[in-house]
Amino acid sequence: MRMPRLTAFLTATAVFVSAFTLAASAAEEVHVLNWKGYGADEPWAVANFEKATGYKVVNDFFNSEQEMLTKIRTNPGLYDVVMINAAFNDQAMAGKLIQPIDTSKLSNYADIAKDKAGSPMLNHDGKVYGVPWVWGLTALAINEKSFDKPPTSIAEMWNPAHKGRVIIRDDAVEAVQFGAIASGQNINDIKDMDAVKAKLTSLMPQIKTFWSSENDWNQMVASNQIDIGTYWSGSADRAKTHFKLPVSLVVPQEGAVAWLDAFSIPVGSKNVAGAEAFINYMIDPKFYVEWVTKVGAPVSANIKAVEALPEDAFNRKVMGSPEVAKRIQFQAPVTDAQREKYLALWQQLKVDVK
């Protein structure tokens, strides 16, 4: 009888040790959810962070904010860091998907621009639910081969010369906000949806296709299939800097949609300390300057990071221009009712264009 008991004891001990080892190993991983090709998964950045901290980064990706929310909702405890557009932070917090962040653990947080750090979209009841990372624009980008000089107006999208060579992102909220700017309205207080619908309806015959990722957009311009389209400022910078594509960003005189991206820590994170270390690394000026130089990036929310760029750098000279600041409108949260309304309009427009 002694041998079976000893065997059982040893088996139980082995199981316990294995479980402990697995738990310890998992605790050393930092699971990050972000757009693919958006800073956090740059091989050199991951390697530098892992070397400096001892943590191992495990990246996962999404193609839309709604997919991101679904992933953290249906996989509780899987992710330690999630990148969320500030306009969606309220929705994530209301759904109890993210937790407050102790910014005292982030040495670089003090250098975040006050207007970004104090955003009501990221702060609730005196607690921080999102650490500002970068901000940028959804503006226009052009295929330089198709223009002698860059256009200045959003109306260029409707120019018959570009029929069948215009591209727009397949995102209902972004499309409706683009239509609002084109019809002279506030993207966060649209009074005349009929005007937006009319503008977008008249644009549909111009459309070559709808894009959902940077790769979609870049492939279209690389094969010279498009002239102009909506694009993210950081992506346009990457297309030109990293991929050497003939792309230039245009901030039209009518304005552009501005957005703020932030890092949050999901509820149930198994490695909060690792998440804090990763977020602090992502907002560090050294990482940012290397990101901009090697790849191209949006504008850092860290003042010292932007100041570390050359004075003539696009993200400092153009994106920091007071004249540009006057023309941009930052996205505010959209209610579920508004989102459903925008989605219904957008789906109908896409059906009609087919």
CA distance linking residue 251 with residue 320, whole number of Å: 13
With CA atoms as reference, report the closest residue to 175 among 166, 126, 274.
166
| pLDDT tens digits, one per residue of 121-130 | 999 999 999 9
Other beta carbons within 10 angstroms of residue 87's beta carbon come to 19
Q: What are phi and psi of 167, to 5 degrees?
A: -130, 145
| pLDDT tens digits, one per residue of 73-91 | 999 999 999 999 999 999 9
Amino acid at 56: K
| pLDDT tens digits, one per residue of 162-187 | 999 999 999 999 999 999 999 999 99
**Mean predicted lDDT score pLDDT of the chain:** 91
| pLDDT tens digits, one per residue of 104-138 | 999 999 999 999 999 999 999 999 999 999 999 99
Model pLDDT, residue 241: 87
Q: What are phi and psi of 195, to 5 degrees?
A: -65, -40
CA torsion angle for 308, 309, 315, 320 (degrees, to 10)?
60
| pLDDT tens digits, one per residue of 221-254 | 999 999 999 999 989 988 998 899 999 999 999 9
| pLDDT tens digits, one per residue of 278-337 | 999 999 999 999 999 999 999 999 999 999 999 989 899 889 888 999 999 999 999 989
pLDDT over 90 percentage in the chain: 84
3-class state of residue 259 by DSSP: strand
Model pLDDT, residue 354: 55
Distances (CA, A) of 291 to 50, 171, 261: 16, 27, 16
Query: In residues, how long is the chain?
Result: 354
Model confidence at 6: pLDDT above 80: no
Tell me if 59 sits within 8 A of 37, measured CB to CB.
Answer: no
Tell me if 203 sits within 8 A of 352, measured CB to CB.
Answer: no
Model confidence at 1: pLDDT above 90: no
Ordered structural domains, the chain, with CATH: 28-134+260-316 (3.40.190.10), 136-258+330-353 (3.40.190.10)
Q: What pLDDT band is residue 353 in, cutting at 50, 70 and 90?
A: low
Model confidence at 22: pLDDT above 60: no
